[in-house]
Structure 1
């Protein structure tokens, strides 16, 4: 995928908006965040399974050229493997179609980036603290989020609602007619949207300001 580059004179900025989802939208947001986490864990297991297999084979004296081939963690490779596995993998059977493909792509993209960071850190090509091998994300502790880059992503004409793929229209906690006006004037365009669900007092999917969009 070609990396986006803004035209001369344009800038890329982020706007953080508090969402006020009803019960239906809240449940869909939680489902998408859960799907992203599930896809991330699938990718981690898919890649590291071969690492363990190769280590076991090497301990039995199998030469390098006879070991199980490495599995690529590039995003295109993970997407292809996931699309082949999702219909038969019991972890996704019966529910994967309930969510946008963007939910699963979020998890796969995060896993790909995590493996890249680990490899660069191990080889000394990444500055900063050493990065460890990507680990599975627990349901209780993982950051719950999902990124949308395709499909219907818009601020509605009333400036009080946003619409996301498969989620539908969600009320904003604050009126953002200023952003809608910029879109109408042609000085602003939405490139993507990331929903982040927060824990704590607002644990209910329908709790006001329990979700943020940017």
Structure 2
């Protein structure tokens, strides 16, 4: 249920919010951050959306705010991020971010709750039977368990992406075909549990918030097959080979770390959105976040070179979503 601005306001105690038709609602979490911005005149509430997720009611405010210019802790730092299943992310700096696998760890509980739900008398459209109260309670327990897994995954991704955006000036990631990867029935559950698309989405807007940029490497760039030492490209590299061995220079390195270093090296060959210069080999990174009021246009097969620019709205005011749980 969505409400537009008008009668939406935060009470002075910052524990209650007033919404149209619903009236005064008590919040489980304090709305002090939102109230401070509204009182200071740096934020304006545009709308509010009420939804139920995992048995809990949430109200999300769409807020137009004035953001101050930020700079990363290391503006000249470049980091390549290679995502995977064994490790959620391998950074070109050598850091290994473990994959928590929240869904895999909760499978035992989810299976038990799913069996309990199947034993209760559920709805039957053909017979016109209505579900029992026990069925509703069992369904709520299963929904809360799934919501907990989603919240844990989202929390871990937010912490990782926030740290990367605040520390490094340039972040390079791959343009993965996640929908195609999900066709692998042996790895589909683990890929979905990792949240590759969500990680990239968060990096895209957080890099802009912190004054950095996100570069997306071309989908066909051989980051895993290329030697980060001499640049030799192997013709084949099986997925089971976790260690990269170069026959030319003798480099022996972890497969994911080698790919992360190759991604970091692409930062110097990326398309410059302001001058329209293209990477020397034509297969480098082809997209980056908007900088200085410009946006890069991805090159399509059979079209003009990438680097064409267009204007975007002023960056002084942006839209943000603040989520608060209500009773």
**What is the TM-score when the length of structure 2 is the normalising length?**
0.23
Q: Give the structure, 1 or 2, with the largest relative contact order (CA under 8 Å, sep 6 or more).
A: 1
Q: Which structure has greater strand proportion?
A: 2
